[in-house]
Homo-oligomer: A and B are copies of this chain.
Amino acid sequence: MRYATLDNGTPDGRLAIVSEDLATCRPLPGMTLQAMLDGAEMPPPGPEQPFDPARCLSPLPRAYQFLDGSAYVNHVELVRRARGAQMPDSFWHDPLMYQGGSDGFLPPTAPIRGARDWGMDFEAEVAVITGPVPMGATPAQAHDAIRLVMLCNDISLRALIPDELAKGFGFVQSKPACAFSPLAVDPRALPGWDGGHLSGTIRVDLNGAPFGRADAGVDMTFDFPTLIAHAAKTRALAAGTIIGSGTVSNRDKDGGPGKPVAQGGRGYSCIAEQRMVETIMSGEPRTPFLGAGDRVRIWMEDDAGLSLFGTIDQSVEALT
């Protein structure tokens, strides 16, 4: 089953079931995704209507929890290197995770608004939505709690991160509202889902050109059940908790960071990684962070070229 949340003027929108080809949807009168996750009885779907991603809110327009892992440790190593920070070896066996803001996600086609000197960047990720998870859950229990899968653009303000992280309490100002794909999909409807990872190319285009073509099923050091169990070590997680994978990032065959798409590589799922690789290759970063008018698109396709989650399609509006 594929779900989307249509904008009906309320904070939580209206839940709809979307057809496999994303052409049509059937709204569920009076229903929200959170209510479904809370176990409310599902009403009979309303009449079929055309599905328009531009009318979508985030599947959960606001959520009680968003915890974002950094499961692709390759990304962590590169981004740390980019800001001159070391990565401890423990990062390969103890998941890195931060508590993200969840009070209001950007709709999948809403603009990213920010000041140019904030160093705006996108991060293409896979995310899951859970049912209730008891405190101390094992990865097996966590596996059973995964209800839906979607994509995320975890917007990051690179220029604000070093000073904020140096304070020691994680991200507040440097991780503003992020965005999710129009669709949240039952993992049973996802051919690339193996219970822990989603295999397949996560496609990122910047200003119409391919920027990232990493495989989300490769190099994910911690799978979703491991991330969820990590989050639930000292507390229960409520239904509707979103767990992000962190920026999808593949190593090259030689173990290195690979090449940009324009040079025949798989590219990157955020600008920061490409800038790091440019610095390694040519001594300085060449790709600027996001500015006014830039457009980023994030999506995945099945083998037949059908979009799995719809497309996160955001343009940038600069405040200053």
Contact = CB atoms under 8 A, between A and B. Distances in A.
Contact of A238 (B62, B160, B165, B319): B62
Interface in A117-158: 118, 135-136, 157
A121 to B, nearest CB: 13
B97 A177 contact: no
A224 to B, nearest CB: 15
A245 to B, nearest CB: 15
A188 interface: no
Given A96-B169, A167-B96, A234-B118, A101 B174 contact: no
Nearest to A235: B176
A171 B174 contact: no
Interface in A57-77: 62-65, 67, 70
Contacts of A113: 135
Nearest to A115: B234
A251 B123 CA distance: 44
Contacts of A136: 319
Given A165-B168, A173-B234, A235-B177, A99 B101 contact: yes
B172 A98 contact: yes
A138 to B, nearest CB: 15
Interface residues of A, number: 52
A192 interface: no
Nearest to A10: B38
A240 B103 contact: yes
B235 A99 contact: no
B104 A236 contact: yes
A7 to B, nearest CB: 16
A240 B136 CA distance: 28
B236 A177 contact: yes
Instruction: Give the one of A65, A70, A319 with max B CB within 10 A.
Output: A65
Interface in A91-107: 91, 94, 96-104
A176 B234 contact: yes
Interface string A20-48: 00000000000000000010000000000
Nearest to A168: B165
Given A101-B65, A135-B113, A241-B103, A94 B167 contact: yes
A6 interface: no
In order of increasing CB-CB distance, the 9 nearest A-B pairs are A170-B170, A103-B238, A64-B103, A65-B103, A176-B235, A98-B169, A176-B234, A99-B99, A104-B238
